[in-house]
Amino acid sequence: MRAARLYGIGDIRVAGEAVPAAADGEELVRVTAVGICGSDLHWWTEGAIGDAALARPLILGHEGAGVIEAGPRRGLRVAIDPAIPCETCRACRDGYRNLCYRIRFAGHGATDGMLREVMAWPARLLHPLPGEIGDAAGALLEPLGVALHALGLGHVPFGGPVAVVGCGPIGLLLVQLLRAAGARVIAAEPLAHRREAASGFGAHEVSDASAPGALSGCGADVAFEMAGNDAAVRAAMESVRPGGRVVLGGIPDADTTTFPASLARRKGLTIAMVRRMNETYPRAIALASRGAVSLDPLVSARVPLADAADAFAAAQRRAGLKVIVTP
């Protein structure tokens, strides 16, 4: 089989490797679609993400779908949940598997991800896909799950105004979820084509996030920051009313976020942090299956595995929305 490994900053190489063997409780999956995420781009541009640094050539990719290759479920199309919690630590026992102390995550640390033709993965984390969800959309169930988890952290009042700062794929999925939840959606994004996408997905108001004070005084009950930079964090805090809530989902460069303490303190803001997702695949599949959320329109490019480096370069330029690699 072929696999794409990251050897260093900007250094992705596609080469042949042995097909992995499935251990007890695992199944072999032929990977059909992998989305490139903003966190993958941190690995590609920094050789690290947060406090985790590249220690060996790593197969990236954690948004994926495929077909089970062998066994009783052979031929079944599945979405691949990238997180393997230990199930025994305090976080897992308390129901916060996304906060597991010993979690293994595809394309992170020592755990190879999905940018390969075949992978072995725990059977319990392979979710059957209904026929109306295609392979690319199946890969996008992972960012939809993150958006669902963020939405839960926001405690959004029904019908109230909500700001979304950063309209990349997860921000645009939040726009759709918020519309479905009855919120009045106020979106902010510096890139014109993503502002257009936010309008197309139902945002009631759209502004240029790069304009000074773009969201100041809009009185949102909740703001979701999905850009991963200090300007977006500040805009989110400026957008909410006193006593409001700010949900931070973007991953910053250099593992540092700063904001004016007086801005947050004087408003008495509650700040929530997004860590991946927690048991959201069944809900994500149901939402996509019944058309409550549109996933396919987010796909702006499909690239073969052989051109994985080009796919990362395209994603880094942010010229489109979501780049899908098709192993």
Answer yes or no: pTM beyond 0.85: yes
What is the predicted pLDDT for the residue at 216?
A: 83
**Rounded distance, CA 59 to CA 193, Å?**
30
**Rounded distance, CA 112 to CA 272, Å?**
29
Q: What is the mean pLDDT of residues 54-65?
A: 96
Q: Are 92 and 102 in contact (CB under 8 A)?
A: no
Tokens 């009950």 appear where? 221
- For 201, other C-beta atoms within 10 Å of its C-beta total 22
Name the band, by pLDDT with cuts 50, 70 and 90, for residue 238: very high
Q: Are 158 and 184 in contact (CB under 8 A)?
A: no
What is the predicted pLDDT for the residue at 4?
A: 97
**Rounded distance, CA 170 to CA 200, Å?**
15
Percent of the residues in the chain that have a pLDDT greater than 90, as a whole number: 91
- For 318, other C-beta atoms within 10 Å of its C-beta total 16
What is the predicted pLDDT for the residue at 217?
A: 80
Percent of the residues in the chain that have a pLDDT greater than 70, as a whole number: 100
Question: What are 180-237's pLDDT values in tens digits?
Answer: 999 999 999 999 999 999 999 999 999 999 888 888 888 999 999 999 999 999 999 9
Q: What is the mean pLDDT of residues 132-140?
A: 97
What is the predicted pLDDT for the residue at 219?
A: 94
Q: Extract long-range pairs of 128-134: CB within 8 Å, 24+ residues apart.
A: 128/76, 128/77, 128/78, 129/65, 129/77, 129/78, 129/79, 129/285, 130/285, 130/289, 132/289, 133/79, 133/285, 133/288, 133/289, 133/295, 134/296
* Token duo for residue 15: 């080469």
* Helix (H), strand (E), coil (C) string for the chain: CEEEEEEECCEEEEEECCCCCCCCCEEEEEEEEEECCHHHHHHHHHCEECCEECCCCEECCCEEEEEECCCCCCCCEEEECCEECCCCCHHHHCCCHHHCCCCEECCECCECCCCECEEEEEHHHEEECCCCCCHHHHHCHHHHHHHHHHHHHHCCCCCCEEEEECCCHHHHHHHHHHHHCCCEEEEECCCHHHHHHHHHCCCCEEECCCCCCCCCCCCEEEEEECCCCHHHHHHHHHHEEEEEEEEECCCCHHHCCCCCHHHHHHHCCEEEECCCCCCCHHHHHHHHHCCCCCCHHHEEEEEEHHHHHHHHHHHHHCCCCEEEEEC
Domains delineated in the chain? 2-140+295-326 (3.90.180.10), 144-273 (3.40.50.720)
User: Taking the mean position of all CA atoms in its chain, how far away is CA 236?
Assistant: 19
**Rounded distance, CA 22 to CA 66, Å?**
15
Tokens 């005084």 appear where? 217
Name the band, by pLDDT with cuts 50, 70 and 90, for residue 30: very high
Predicted confidence (pLDDT) at residue 17 exceeds the cutoff of 90: yes
What is the predicted pLDDT for the residue at 255?
A: 84
Predicted confidence (pLDDT) at residue 51 exceeds the cutoff of 90: no
Question: What are 149-171's pLDDT values in tens digits?
Answer: 999 999 999 999 999 999 999 99
Strands 161-165 and 126-128: unpaired
